[in-house]
């Protein structure tokens, strides 16, 4: 199935149906978010499926089927399924200085600043989805291949980061086969498929972060050397972080900070903060925005930097603190993902029953297509939820600690300074976990 | 033949550590928290308005009886108490009264169950029924995880 040229475009086409319905409902349907298909299916159903099932279970599988880049990609390819053709568009290369996650980090923060409005106002939610699609189409005309997905998409950034936890990977069987294979069809493409749309050379692919799971290399590899493996969850996290850039570490820190702020703002009992976040007044939102950005970009990364620096001082390593900051950022990923799963599980099980009404009456106009319009709101597992969230968070901490120790042992295989270097990082992870536990349970 | 296998003796501290860790985890999870609280009755008026409850956080003890007078000061609101599955609807000017015994400990959200505006899904208050064992036990597990991980690394190094 994965080798069929129809697999990816047909999946995208199928998802364009709920996508179109979500946008239509957002623009034309009821303004009551919990009765509007656009809000219920995007921010309750899709979000929960993404964060609870797809990312931890299948990594970047969502990027395989995401409909947002589909129109742009089909314009480049001059068709939806069809044969492999020369790509249309200007094919410009993305500027070198932006070939990192900073644009994605900025995009995510901008969306996060307005997230309370986005996930409660159907028209705003629809405008954001249409806007992202417009940017994706525009970039497909200007830039080569999936430049939007790789460097700009604010969702793709954190999906890629957390996909490193997933128990599946696309890799080559034998890297030496790739070295010796001169035609490099996975890069250039051939009659069976396009050269990697994510501009990745599979022969050197070491982490899920970089691979969009588009399956083109499975089709183009004439050596049958590309495979999808089952593996130990989180196997990528023990790999070194390539380069000296700290954009990836910042992505992990921003996501962890947001996973703490979101439940406080949305699930907490503080109505004033909710009103600020929902832009009831510009002054209130400004206070919220300054606080949010200070916490996500300054306070949490600053505290983590201090933790890494303190441990680094006691190590025998001759690497810089910046490099250590980067290397240990993998330890933030399991806890960050666990925090997002705890958030998403709580939100989805509490509000998931709205989906039954919304599917029968997607626009909130009184239709009753499947006879479920009047199904009453019912929170599921409300009594068990704190236990579920506690288990998820403590498990996330456990895997983060393991990762930090593995990174420490990789940097100092003798283990002589591992405890000293990782203790401050463990303290940082513990503090984040305790804050999350007290927010959900305390 | 005379050479002895060093593994059993060198692993002994690790096994002892694991047993100790298991006992510690079981203690944190299972040891009952002693309480000497005499149950009492609380009369609480909760005012619902877009998109908040006042008071937004209540703290009581297990076994207490809670008599709630629920009022709305703007539009129709609902009240659903997680974990207790208590649900009521309140219209402006017509208060609702109900009573329940707080027999389950922990933190429980009370949330609006009648669509009341854009922030409706986030109209939430908190009821904390003490002793809130779950948060202490979960925090204890988190601290043990850190301690065990670091102690394990230290032990592995010394072995």
ipTM, 2 dp: 0.90
Does A243 map to a domain?
no
Whether residues A73 and A140 share a domain: the answer is: yes
Residue A201 lies in domain: 1-233
CATH topology of domain B41-130: Immunoglobulin-like (2.60.40)
Whether residues A214 and A272 share a domain: the answer is: no
Whether residues A220 and A259 share a domain: the answer is: no
pLDDT classification of B1: cutoffs 50, 70, 90: very low
Task: List CB contacts (< 8 A) between A268 and chain B.
Answer: 124
Q: What is the pLDDT at residue A168?
A: 97
Determine, for residues B107 and A266 on separate chains, whether the beta-carbon distance falls below 8 Å: no
Whether residues A161 and A307 share a domain: the answer is: no
For chain A, the domain total comes to 2
Whether residues A171 and A288 share a domain: the answer is: no
Q: What is the pLDDT at residue B2?
A: 43
Start-to-end CA span in chain B (Å): 24
Contacts of B111 (CB under 8 A, 6+ apart): A350, A379, B79, B80, B82, B121, B123, B124, B125
Give A 32-61 residues with CB within 8 A of chain B. 32-35
Does A20 map to a domain?
yes
Whether residues A195 and A257 share a domain: the answer is: no
Quote the mean pLDDT of chain A. 95
Q: What is the pLDDT of residues A182-223, one digit of tens each?
A: 999 999 999 999 999 999 999 999 999 999 999 999 999 999
Determine, for residues A426 and B150 on separate chains, whether the beta-carbon distance falls below 8 Å: yes
- Cβ atoms A58, A383 nearer than 8 A: no
Query: Rounded CA gap, A63 and A153, in Å?
Result: 10
- Cβ atoms A354, A375 nearer than 8 A: no
| Domain boundary assignment for chain B | 12-33+136-158, 41-130
Is the confidence at residue A237, as pLDDT, over 50? yes
Query: Rounded CA gap, A12 and A3, in Å?
Result: 16
Does A154 map to a domain?
yes
End-of-domain residue from the set A176, A205, A233: A233
Residue A200: strand, helix, or coil: coil
Does A63 map to a domain?
yes
Task: List CB contacts (< 8 A) between A121 and chain B.
Answer: 118
Structure tokens at A383: 């009594």
Determine, for residues A419 and B126 on separate chains, whether the beta-carbon distance falls below 8 Å: no
Q: What is the pLDDT of residues B22-43, one digit of tens each?
A: 999 999 999 988 777 899 999 9
Does A197 map to a domain?
yes
Distance from CA of B38 to the nearest CA of A (A): 22
């Amino acid at each position: 199935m994965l080798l069929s040229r129809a697999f990816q475009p047909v999946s995208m086409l199928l998802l364009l149906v709920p996508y179109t319905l979500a946008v239509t409902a957002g623009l034309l349907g009821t303004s009551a978010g919990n009765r509007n298909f656009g809000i219920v299916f995007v921010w309750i159903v899709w979000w929960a499926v993404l964060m609870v099932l797809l990312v931890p279970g299948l990594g970047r599988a969502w990027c395989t089927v995401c409909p947002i880049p589909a129109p742009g990609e089909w314009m480049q390819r001059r068709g939806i399924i069809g044969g492999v053709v020369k790509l249309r568009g200007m094919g410009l290369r993305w500027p070198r200085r932006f070939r990192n996650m900073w644009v994605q980090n900025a995009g995510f923060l901008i969306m996060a600043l307005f997230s309370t409005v986005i996930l409660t106002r159907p028209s705003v939610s629809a405008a954001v989805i249409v806007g992202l699609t417009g940017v994706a189409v525009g970039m497909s005309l200007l830039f080569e291949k999936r430049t939007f997905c790789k460097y700009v998409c604010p969702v793709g950034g954190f999906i890629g980061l957390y996909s490193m936890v997933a128990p599946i990977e696309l890799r080559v069987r034998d890297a030496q086969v790739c070295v010796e294979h001169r035609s490099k069809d996975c890069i250039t493409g051939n009659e069976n498929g396009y050269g990697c749309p994510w501009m990745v050379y599979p022969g050197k692919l070491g982490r899920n972060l970089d691979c969009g799971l588009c399956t083109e290399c499975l089709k183009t590899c004439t050596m049958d050397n590309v495979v999808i493996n089952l593996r130990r969850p989180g196997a990528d996290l023990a790999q070194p972080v390539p380069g000296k850039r700290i954009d990836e570490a910042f992505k992990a820190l921003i996501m962890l900070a947001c996973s703490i702020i979101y439940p406080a703002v949305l699930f907490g009992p503080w109505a004033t903060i909710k009103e600020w976040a929902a832009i009831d007044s510009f002054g209130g939102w400004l206070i919220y925005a300054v606080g949010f950005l200070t916490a996500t970009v300054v306070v949490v990364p600053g505290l983590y930097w201090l933790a890494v620096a303190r441990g680094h001082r006691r190590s025998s390593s001759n690497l810089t603190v910046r490099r250590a900051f980067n290397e240990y950022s993998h330890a933030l990923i399991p806890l960050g993902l666990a925090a997002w799963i705890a958030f998403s599980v709580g939100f989805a099980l509490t509000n998931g029953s709205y989906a039954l009404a919304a599917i029968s009456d997607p626009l909130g106009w009184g239709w009753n297509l499947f006879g479920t319009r009047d199904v009453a709101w019912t929170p599921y597992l409300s009594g068990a939820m704190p236990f579920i969230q506690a288990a998820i968070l403590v498990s996330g901490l456990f895997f983060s600690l393991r990762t930090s120790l593995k990174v420490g042992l990789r940097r100092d295989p003798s283990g002589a300074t591992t405890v000293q270097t990782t203790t401050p990082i463990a303290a940082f992870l513990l503090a984040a976990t305790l804050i999350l536990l007290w927010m959900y349970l305390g | 033949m005379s050479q002895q296998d060093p593994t059993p003796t060198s692993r002994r501290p690790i096994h002892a550590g694991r047993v100790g860790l298991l006992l510690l985890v079981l203690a944190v999870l299972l040891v009952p928290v002693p309480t000497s609280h005499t149950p009492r009755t609380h009369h609480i008026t909760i005012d619902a308005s877009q998109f908040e409850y006042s008071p937004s956080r209540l703290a009581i003890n297990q076994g207490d009886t809670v008599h709630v007078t629920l009022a709305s000061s703007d539009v129709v609101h609902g009240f659903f108490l997680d974990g207790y599955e208590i649900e009521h609807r309140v219209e402006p000017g017509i208060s609702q009264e109900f009573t329940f015994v707080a027999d389950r400990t922990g933190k429980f959200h009370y949330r609006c169950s009648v669509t009341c505006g854009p922030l409706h899904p986030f109209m939430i208050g908190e009821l904390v029924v003490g002793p809130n064992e779950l948060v202490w036990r979960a925090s204890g597990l988190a601290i043990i995880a850190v301690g065990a991980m670091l102690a394990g690394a230290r032990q592995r190094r010394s072995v």
